[in-house]
Amino acid sequence: MKIRKNRNLRQTSTKGFFDNEKSAYLQFTDKEIFQVVEHELSAMAKGTVVDLGGGPTLNFLAPEVTEIIKVDVSDSILLSKGKFANLAFILGDASRIPLKDSVADTVIMQHLLHHITTEDLDETICLIRSSLRESFRILRDQGLLLIVEPCLYKPIFWTQKKMYPFLFSIYNFMGFAPVFFNSLSSLMRELEPLFKSTEVKMIKARLPLSCREGWSLEVPYWFSAARVFFISAQKQSSNVSDI
């Protein structure tokens, strides 16, 4: 019951933030980092694409993409750019995706994982793990998981873990959606049992610090505490229960 309660709290908190900051997020998605990522996603996305937590971002259109299903906790931000013939919207949580098994050729997690949080660190890590397993579940055999995610340097990552309850409170006090950033090594450990042929590229672009309206500060990638990585991973097994 505790996990379910915190999941609902997370969904309400994240939904409320992105509903309120819808217009700012639309501007945020025009930043350089999304333009750079567009080339990587468009080159690899194909078939039926399930875009988890992507909001209004639609920077992976390519001839090989036949259908896009966008899953997000914020119905307001999902609908903010209208409808397209091959685009469907589903209100849902990445840790409990409301789709059947093996429906996707490509799953995209673009700047999603750090928003999967509760006030409890262990439950946050469990929800991140559940989201990766859910992406595995809905992928067809040989399907691709494409992740775009900022990852902290190890010392900063461990400091974040130690200070997590305090940081969570600060985010809430300031009206931001709480975040938890993985290190690259911690994220890869979660992916290893599920996926094979994993490739990692670092995205060298300025990093926006917030999508809050009125905030437009960006920092060079070499000056940031995090690096944005593009990770592509191929589904390894057809039975997640075997992992």
Domain count of the fold of the chain: 1
Give the residue ranges of the chain where pLDDT is below 70: 1-30, 56-57, 74-85, 209-216, 237-243
Give me 210's structure tokens: 């917030």
How many other CB atoms are found less than 10 A from the CB of residue 227? 18
- Residue 84 is predicted with a pLDDT of 62
- What DSSP assignment string belongs to 8-66? HHHHHHHHHHHHHTHHHHHHHTTSHHHHHHHHHHHHH--EEEEEES-TT------TTEE
Fill in the DSSP letter of residue 120.
Answer: S
Containing domain of residue 29, as a range? 2-201+228-237
**Residue 13: inside a domain:** yes
- Residue 201 is predicted with a pLDDT of 95
**Residue 209: inside a domain:** no
**Residue 212: inside a domain:** no
Fill in the DSSP letter of residue 71.
Answer: E
**Residue 151: inside a domain:** yes
78 touches 70 (CB < 8 A):
yes
CATH code of the domain in which 86 resides:
3.40.50.150
**Residue 156: inside a domain:** yes
- What DSSP assignment string belongs to 131-195? HHHHHHHHEEEEEEEEEEEEEE-HHHHHHHHHTHHHHHHHHHHHTPPP--PPBHHHHHHHHTTTE
**Residue 216: inside a domain:** no
**Residue 41: inside a domain:** yes
Closest CA to 147 of 15, 29, 52: 52
**Residue 36: inside a domain:** yes
